[in-house]
Amino acid sequence: MAKYKDEFLYSDPNTIRDMVYCWNRGFYYYPVIIPIYKFERLKNAPKVSKVKIEWRAGRDSGQGKIIYDQNQELYDVIYRLYIHKAEQLRGK
């Protein structure tokens, strides 16, 4: 399996700027653990829980349909969501 290449640096000023821009306007994206299904046995349960991405904007909220592993790829998707939302809010 090929190693995942991180798209974003944690200190990337543009990504951080976009995240803060969204937070200041009440838009949040975050991972939420999904429950283990009843038909799965505990011994077969994954060592790292699977997650979905939830969002909140004021009183509105929702949950994505895609299931992710908890790894850097998940956080890169969240970073991309913040970048996209910041561009929408700025009218680009």
Region for residue 72 given its phi and psi (left: phi exceeds 0; alpha: psi -120 to 50; beta: otherwise): alpha
How does pLDDT run across 1-41, given as a tens digit for each residue?
A: 556 666 666 668 889 999 999 999 999 999 998 876 544 55
Q: Give the global pTM.
A: 0.79
The mean pLDDT value for 57-82 works out to: 91
- All structural domains of the chain with their residue ranges: 13-35+45-90
CA–CA distance, 68 with 77 (Å, rounded to integer):
10
